[in-house]
Structure 1
């Protein structure tokens, strides 16, 4: 196992620019002795926000790769790829390609990040498309779901590949040695779903994976499944719906507690419970979606991430490197190819 893990941080992308990424960098460095960071962005702006204690570690725990060019959230993808050759996002990914960094974390434009990663890093042999995989809360902890938006249309082979990659990720993060995998569908019965879903179900069932069958949207959070597989269209809608429901529940609770003196007293009494529930449902805890299928580790942070959320994304990248997720995916794909070569 390698002694030092080096992660490149795209400091210029996202809604908050470096105001979130700089404090996140300092916080994560204090938690991992074997971590080193390359801060890719405007050196003058970064230096102004650095903690004095962190500055003492320059050259040993972190370095700065200067660029003042960034891909914005509203940039057209093709224009960004062609004209912004020195963007912080591109330079961060190139560091991974050139083996100067073990992973890259960015809060930038998802489409641009996916396109650049695929062009620069290339795909793992046996994988047709990259997929976005993220964690979501459940009754018993958390589960992972993919694809969360990279591929609007998928065939059954793609869904099988997603299942293999997602299972390898869950195993590498030591969540489960034999992750339970469900395929998102409109019903749990075998006859339900379109032809693609039915074919994917058969292929996953015939693989060495621990496949538990179809799962419906309301079953994802029971804790009975470690990984939910779907196409990017349904996955992204599910993710955004979950975020929306969480926000509206929070809004409803706050409104009810403000209605009268009695409800305000109730709010004070129930504060410890509500705080615990809020912590479990806090989307920042689950920030950091993995771009799986690439010949390098890239983690996408939410564009609006604050420092805590961005730190969680860095932490995700750290453990993917530490637990050698790339080799686990390659090994899993190789095993599947050998057992059922015609799939690929």
Structure 2
């Protein structure tokens, strides 16, 4: 399988993406990478990092432009057509790559994927599916930032796509789907969530109803459905809280020798929690609903995070996630049509 990697995307590009690419090539013999970016710079770093051992499975594609984190998404697609992001996505459109991985400007990746690839049949808008760790098992948060003006129908699609992701990538047999709102009662929320509740209730998903913010980590479901504005706030807040708690603990443990000794004795437990909450372990978020496989990695991705983002792309291709989404969306529409014809309650 061929995966296009945005070598210029992210806070530590091109060093971090290239290091992650080499690591992934060593781990996954069936992966072939196309490193997209400023070719002379990319090649220089690649060979400095001893990429010669895996160079048979690497191609280079030169681009003259880079999309910055501050660039407006739509404008970057229109006016920076030779950027590493646009060229990566174009490779999928041309059939020259099976997937794309980028730690660059999230909005630009979503815009490029939507413009060049379009959405899958039956899907009107794509959604970002982020994996969020909890004490027990991780859950899928969708949408975590692709669109901020969702419709109830979009939220239903997110529920269906998120459920498929949980089944195929996380291995959950019958994913529980919850709608993020301000109360568990179906009358709580705004017009968007109340309308979405009705649609999700009539679907064949394992829909458990509304969930509140406190349920995310205390009583987690497998798939959390919300619009992109709320989802992105939840994602960024969760990341910052995890970082802050670790920092607070370090300060407290350093206050006296007894606490320092306690920290040493509890080192194993802290390392376990750190690993579970570390974004690097999850690699990147899958942009679900487009005609292609697109992984959006964290802007500050390390080589390990990039390697894991490539792993997620590989798994999505192996599990044929897009084909299953098409079939599930089709089945849902048939269910709705059958309900209209028979006027029988959907079970």
Q: Tell me how large the CA RMSD over aligned residues is.
A: 1.7
- The 4+ residue runs of structure 1 with deviation greater than 4 A are none
User: CA 1:342/1:301 → structure 2, altered by over 3 Å: closer, same or farther?
Assistant: farther
CA shift at 1:174, angstroms?
A: 4.7
Where does 1:219-238 land on structure 2 (aligned, <5 Å)?
219-222=215-218, 224-238=220-234
Contact persistence 2:74–2:111 (CA under 8 A):
no
Where does residue 345 of structure 2 map in the other structure? none
CA shift at 1:212, angstroms?
A: 1.1
Q: Which of residues 49, 54, 57 in structure 2 aligns to 1:57? A: 54
Where does residue 129 of structure 1 map in the other structure? 125
User: CA 1:139/1:40 → structure 2, altered by over 3 Å: closer, same or farther?
Assistant: same
Q: How many residue pairs get matched?
A: 338
Contact persistence 2:106–2:296 (CA under 8 A):
yes
User: CA 1:176/1:55 → structure 2, altered by over 3 Å: closer, same or farther?
Assistant: same
Contact persistence 2:26–2:54 (CA under 8 A):
no
Where does residue 65 of structure 2 map in the other structure? 69
For the pair 1:253 / 2:249, whether they are aligned, the reply is yes
Where does residue 161 of structure 1 map in the other structure? 157
Q: SS state of the match for residue 298, structure 2?
A: coil
Where does residue 184 of structure 1 map in the other structure? 180
CA shift at 1:267, angstroms?
A: 1.6
Unaligned runs of 5+ in 2: 340-347
Contact persistence 2:165–2:321 (CA under 8 A):
yes
For the pair 1:120 / 2:116, whether they are aligned, the reply is yes
What is the alpha-carbon distance in structure 1 between the residues aligned to residue 190 and residue 166 of structure 2? Answer: 27
User: TM-score w.r.t. structure 2 length?
Assistant: 0.93
Unaligned runs of 5+ in 1: none
For the pair 1:31 / 2:27, whether they are aligned, the reply is yes
What is the alpha-carbon distance in structure 2 between the residues aligned to residue 149 and residue 308 of structure 1? Answer: 23
For the pair 1:290 / 2:286, whether they are aligned, the reply is yes
Q: SS state of the match for residue 41, structure 2?
A: helix
Deviation larger for 187-196 or 290-299: 187-196
What is the alpha-carbon distance in structure 2 between the residues aligned to residue 10 and residue 341 of structure 1? Answer: 42
What is the alpha-carbon distance in structure 1 between the residues aligned to residue 178 and residue 78 of structure 2? Answer: 39
CA shift at 1:260, angstroms?
A: 1.2
What is the alpha-carbon distance in structure 1 between the residues aligned to residue 235 and residue 128 of structure 2? Answer: 12
User: CA 1:194/1:76 → structure 2, altered by over 3 Å: closer, same or farther?
Assistant: closer
CA shift at 1:100, angstroms?
A: 1.0
User: TM-score w.r.t. structure 1 length?
Assistant: 0.94
What is the alpha-carbon distance in structure 2 between the residues aligned to residue 316 and residue 102 of structure 1? Answer: 13
What is the alpha-carbon distance in structure 2 between the residues aligned to residue 168 and residue 331 of structure 1? Answer: 11
CA shift at 1:308, angstroms?
A: 1.0
